[in-house]
């Protein structure tokens, strides 16, 4: 039999089946008979909730192919795997989209295709803007998978991974991704705010928003089903970090049950680790926005590069100008957000250790890190406010500035740690952390922690230098001639390998 005749016969059979299914409707018999049976069977195979609009590409092959669907999907999986081994990512994407139509309730296909879009296809592009859009495509694909498989921890975890790991941590794109995502979440929230109540009812299927814009909306679970919702722009006027979404989805993954390949302990720890990254990124974002208002008397560029991918608005605005006040509010917001997330991370790690005490070696370190970095973040906030106050008062150190400088000094000193009467250092301090987790080796044994201890010691020295500069500024306040002091935002810079975050 020729291929042409075979195609015609198959098409004729498909039309006959469809006619049989729809015939009762044509005769005015409603959903009676065979049509009712098929509809009931389809709901058992592929449950459809009211808020999901299914298209013919899902319903048609499921009804027509019947038992032949399994062998066809198996063949497509083999073909897709071969193309993956050849790194033909575009073809892999096509095959997996077809498989998703044929097996809409099979989570693995959504997990793989979301990962493929966000990780493999995004790196095929050179421009950061194009990379970012492909990552959003991966996030949106995972969102669609949750709509059809709302109870799948695998899909939910993959969605969390895209926001936490790809948008939040990938090197070197993360600084662009974080800034762009924050802008997008605020922009999309404002677009949704302008919609009518009717338009906001079903944002997942909205034609008012692009598919990529929907990746800046959060999947939430409510009694009536899944919803896409914008961020609260009153609470987050500058948008949110991708870690915000990563954290929400990692918490949801924990609630959904066991992942197919990742252990419960790792899943349980992920939200705390995400909070730690979120807090650190907020601290560095605060420093980055402070750099925009530098007014430096000496160069303030970071030794390793800018923390923002590009200047946003006017650099070095006049003191007390509208732009100055906008940047000050923005930097302060991120410093305060950093403090909140560090505190939240510490509690999350403690809660994890109560459930999994065998993880103490790993997560006890994280509690130390979050504690001393929270002190550094608080110190930076107070130092930032002191610098602003001095610049806003014609470079004179006021009483209010002295109070802020003292608070910064105290926080930096707390981060370093003071030697106790018994020779130990407080938990949560840099020196306590170093001695506990990176001790000097016994005589004759190799030193396995030289690099780690060197970086920690460098940070201790840098904080000590900051405190010396703070003391000089405070002494300047006490001088009788009351001469103006020289100060700039470079005081906020630290030795830490900040571009790792």
Backbone angles phi, psi at 240, to 5 degrees: -125, 155
Q: Are residues 299 and 391 in the same domain?
A: yes
Domain boundary among 256, 273, 307: 256
In the block, residue with structure tokens 């703070």:
470
Residues 362 and 436 in one domain: yes
Give residue 91's pLDDT: 72
Query: Which of 89, 129, 133 is closest to 113 using CA atoms?
Result: 89
Which of the pair, 76 or 317, is modelled with greater confidence? 317
According to the model, what pLDDT value does residue 5 have? 66
Share of the chain above pLDDT 90, in %: 47
Task: Evaluate whether residue 280 is within a structural domain.
Answer: no
Tell me what percent of the residues of the chain surpass a pLDDT of 70.
75
Structure confidence at residue 69 (pLDDT): 56
Same domain, 32 and 122: no
For the chain, how far is it from start to end, CA to CA, in angstroms? 63
Using the predicted structure, report yes or no on whether residue 417 has a pLDDT greater than 90: yes
Is residue 332 a part of any domain in this protein? Answer: yes
Shared domain check, 494 and 409: yes
Q: Indicate whether 243 belongs to any domain.
A: yes
For position 442, what pLDDT does the model report?
A: 83
Q: Which of 188, 168, 187 is nearest to 248 (CA)?
A: 168
User: Which residue range forms the structural domain that includes residue 241?
Assistant: 67-256
Same domain? For 16 and 104 the reply is no
Residues 207 and 311 in one domain: no
Mean pLDDT score of the chain: 82
Total domains present in the chain: 3
Strands (DSSP E) found in 14-151: none
Shared domain check, 479 and 376: yes
CA atoms of 409 and 464, how far apart (whole Å): 9
Consecutive H or E run containing 280: helix 264-292
- pLDDT tops 60 at residue 22: no
Task: Please give the structure tokens belonging to residue 362.
Answer: 């790993």
Indicate if 2 and 130 belong to the same structural domain: no
Question: Does residue 287 fall inside a structural domain?
Answer: no
72 and 33 within one domain: no
Residue 222 in this model has a pLDDT that exceeds 50: yes
3-state secondary structure of 234: coil
Question: Which residue among 256, 278, 312 closes a domain?
Answer: 256
Tokens of 214: 């929907």
Decide: 273 and 352 in contact? Cβ < 8 Å: no
In whole angstroms, what is the distance from residue 183 CA to residue 153 CA?
A: 29
Write b or e for each residue in 227-253: b if 16 or more Cβ atoms lie within 10 A of its Cβ, otherwise e.
bbebbebeebebbbbbbbbbbbbbebb
Residues 247 and 192 grouped into a single domain = yes
- Residue in 328, 397, 421, 407 with CA at minimum distance from that of residue 375: 407
Across 443-456, average pLDDT = 86
At 108 the pLDDT is 84
Average pLDDT (320-330) is 94
d(CA 394, CA 473): 14
Q: Are residues 400 and 449 in the same domain?
A: yes
Q: Does residue 282 form part of some domain?
A: no
Which pTM value belongs to this model?
Answer: 0.82
Residue at 48 is within a domain? no
How far is Cα 394 from Cα 486, in angstroms, rounded to an integer?
A: 10
Question: How many CB atoms sit inside 10 A of residue 318's CB?
Answer: 11
Flag whether 411 is in a domain: yes
Q: Is 62 within the bounds of a domain?
A: no
Strand-pairing partners, residue 228, are 219
3-state secondary structure of 396: coil
């Amino acid at each position: 039999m020729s291929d042409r005749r075979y195609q015609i016969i198959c098409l004729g059979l498909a039309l006959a089946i469809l006619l049989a299914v729809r015939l009762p409707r044509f005769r005015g018999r409603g959903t009676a008979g065979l049509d009712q049976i098929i509809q009931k069977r389809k709901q058992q195979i592929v449950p459809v909730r009211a808020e999901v609009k299914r298209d013919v590409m899902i319903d048609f092959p499921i009804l027509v192919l019947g038992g032949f669907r399994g062998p066809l999907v198996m063949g497509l999986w083999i073909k897709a795997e071969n193309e993956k081994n050849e790194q033909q990512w575009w073809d892999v994407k096509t095959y997996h989209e077809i498989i998703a139509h044929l097996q809409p309730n099979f989570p693995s296909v959504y997990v793989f295709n979301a990962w493929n879009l966000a990780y493999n296809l995004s790196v095929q592009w050179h421009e950061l803007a194009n990379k970012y859009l492909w990552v959003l495509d991966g996030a949106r694909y995972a969102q669609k998978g949750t709509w059809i498989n709302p109870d799948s921890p695998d899909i939910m975890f993959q969605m969390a991974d895209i926001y936490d790991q790809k948008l939040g941590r990938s090197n070197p794109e993360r600084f662009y991704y974080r800034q762009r995502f924050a802008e997008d979440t605020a922009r999309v929230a404002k677009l949704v705010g302008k919609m009518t109540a009717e338009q906001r009812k079903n944002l997942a299927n909205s034609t008012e928003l692009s598919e990529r814009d929907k990746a800046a909306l959060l999947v939430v679970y409510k009694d009536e089903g899944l919803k896409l919702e914008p961020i609260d722009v009153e609470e987050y006027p500058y948008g949110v970090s991708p870690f915000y979404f990563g954290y929400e989805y990692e918490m949801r993954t924990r609630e959904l049950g066991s992942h197919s390949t990742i252990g419960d302990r790792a899943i349980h720890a992920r939200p705390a680790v995400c909070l730690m990254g979120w807090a650190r990124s907020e601290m560095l974002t605060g420093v980055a926005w402070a750099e925009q208002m530098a007014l430096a008397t000496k160069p303030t560029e970071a030794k390793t590069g800018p923390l923002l991918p590009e200047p946003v608005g006017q650099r070095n605005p006049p003191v007390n100008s509208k732009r100055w006040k906008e940047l000050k509010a923005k930097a302060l917001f991120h410093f305060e957000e950093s403090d909140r997330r560090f505190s939240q991370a510490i509690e999350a790690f403690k809660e994890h250790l109560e459930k999994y005490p065998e993880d103490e070696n790993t997560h006890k370190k994280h509690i130390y890190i979050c504690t001393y970095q929270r002190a550094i973040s608080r110190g930076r906030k107070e130092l930032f406010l002191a610098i602003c106050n001095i610049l806003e008062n014609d470079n004179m150190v006021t009483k209010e500035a002295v109070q802020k400088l003292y608070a910064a000094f105290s926080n930096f000193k707390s981060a370093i740690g003071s030697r106790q009467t018994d020779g130990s250092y407080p938990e949560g301090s840099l020196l306590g952390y170093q001695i506990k987790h990176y001790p000097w080796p016994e005589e004759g044994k190799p030193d396995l922690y030289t690099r780690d201890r060197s970086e920690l010691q460098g940070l201790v020295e840098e904080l000590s230098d900051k405190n010396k500069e703070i003391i000089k500024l405070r002494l300047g306040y006490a001088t009788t001639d009351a001469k103006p002091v020289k100060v700039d935002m470079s005081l906020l810079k630290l030795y830490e390998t900040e571009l790792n975050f």
